[in-house]
Amino acid sequence: MLLTRAQKQEINQVFELTDTVGAGLLDGEGLYKALRALGLEVPVSEGGINDLLRSVDRQDEGYIDVDDFKKIVSDLMTRKNDEQREDNHDYDQEEEDGDEDEEEFIDDHRRDDAFRVLAAKDGMITLDSLRQASQAQGESWTTRELEEMLNEADRNHDGVVDPAEFERIWKLAGLG
């Protein structure tokens, strides 16, 4: 499956956020966490993570780099899409409805993934979590700029952006 530029950017961001050591590598546990952050299921075969490492010839090292990660994500997304296609009904109208549902599912999934990348451990976007995400992307936003972004999204003025507030901004930006 070919990845869009936005998907590649999101994958890079998740990789960087999961690579807590900054070595440009993820071990099996990091791979699992990064895949879950993207909303992807790790195959429940006997090999699980080891099968994924083997798929990019990294079973001996036990670590993957960002290119390996992109290949694994692409393969898992292809499998997921293939499984979803198999579940579609044969009737034309139902397929059209399914396509709309699938697009909505993908949009919701991308929004939820983006939220998870930006959110702190408590599940809310905070000034600190926004700062960490922007630094991981190599952005150099000032504290004031980050505060303005947070304030624009924070409709109830509680100092954090919750999923509903994020969804509103997502839609305003024309992303969903």
List pLDDT tens digits, range 65-75. 999 998 998 88
pLDDT computed for residue 68 by the predictor: 92
pLDDT computed for residue 59 by the predictor: 87
Distance (Å, whole) CA 119 – CA 121: 7
pTM: 0.49
Long-range contacts of 70-74 (CB under 8 A, 24+ apart): 70/3, 70/8, 70/11, 72/31, 72/35, 73/3, 73/11, 73/35, 73/38, 73/40, 74/1, 74/2, 74/3
Domains of the chain in start order, with CATH, are 1-87 (1.10.238.10), 92-176 (1.10.238.10)
104-132 core/surface letters (b: 16 or more CB in 10 A; e: else): eeeeeebbebbbbbbbeeeebbbbebbbe
pLDDT computed for residue 22 by the predictor: 83
Low-confidence ranges of the chain (pLDDT < 50): 89-93, 95
Q: 41 with 48: CB under 8 angstroms? A: no
pLDDT computed for residue 65 by the predictor: 93
pLDDT computed for residue 90 by the predictor: 46
pLDDT computed for residue 91 by the predictor: 44
